[in-house]
Amino acid sequence: MNALASRRRHPAAIALLLLLGLFVTGGAYAALAPKPAVAAEASSDQIQQGKQLFLQNCATCHGIGALGTDEGPSLAGVGAAAVDFQMGTGRMPMAGPGIQAPRNVPSFDAEKIAAIGAYIQSLAPGPAVPDAKYTSGEGGDPGKGGMIFRTNCSMCHNSAGAGGALTRGKYAPSLHNVDAKYIYEAMLTGPQSMPVFNDMNLSPEAKADVIAYLKTMHEEGNPGGMALGSLGPVSEGLVAWIFGLGILIGAAYWLGQKGA
């Protein structure tokens, strides 16, 4: 017993227990952590093609090695998902400097965008283009997605996903008629003023739930009739004020004419 007790009090025993605890914790984290929704990996030929396209079309603002210049930020670590979102929605390349890059017609086809994304992904680890099973809207839970959206997104995009104004001339864009893949990538990469919802704070399944909610909401339409921009009491009050005041003025004029 004395020998066993002395071994327990040995300084090395504490270090071994700490190492064992770290090993168990790390193993449990690796086993239970959410897996990223990653699509197929790129080939070396695709990366080389992307590099050439980048040098021809993007390096002027983002630098030869994509490390940024005075005209554009560094792209190291943004990942292929950010490239796919920005270029797939036509926000990049920008025609000129501005407060916010608006949605536009894409300048490149999907193959070239994927090649540029593969090149950027090869420079430094970053969010990859998600697997299609998470961006289809199928299998997600609209109820859970609605709770997540109202908690994290509605203050900027409003509860109907119609978008809204932000500070300094910026705005949260409408989510109507937006490809589900780009909604997922926006959550994953946090473009412009949007916060990043990586897979640690919002799992791929939770992102799929948000997409399912938006898809269901847009398919069902507006049960109340005219949406009026889905801006709530602002647009509704404006319509009531204009039409209500117009009716009152018309009635007053009619009564005045009748009394005369």
Write out the binding residues. 58, 61-62, 153, 156-157
Specify the DSSP class assigned to residue 232.
T
State the binding site for heme c: 58, 61-62, 153, 156-157
Torsion of CA 124, 129, 133, 136, to 10 degrees: 150
What is the enclosing helix (H) or strand (E) of 165?
A: strand 164-165
Question: Residue 135: which residues within 8 A CB-CB, separation 6 or more?
Answer: 180, 181, 183, 184, 208, 211
Contact 215, 137 (CB under 8 A): yes
Give the span between the Cα atoms of 57 and 161, in whole angstroms: 33
C-alpha dist (Å) from residue 180 to 33, 39, 128, 229, 239: 24, 15, 16, 21, 33
Length of the chain: 260
Question: Of 62, 64, 70, nearest to 86 (Cα)?
Answer: 62
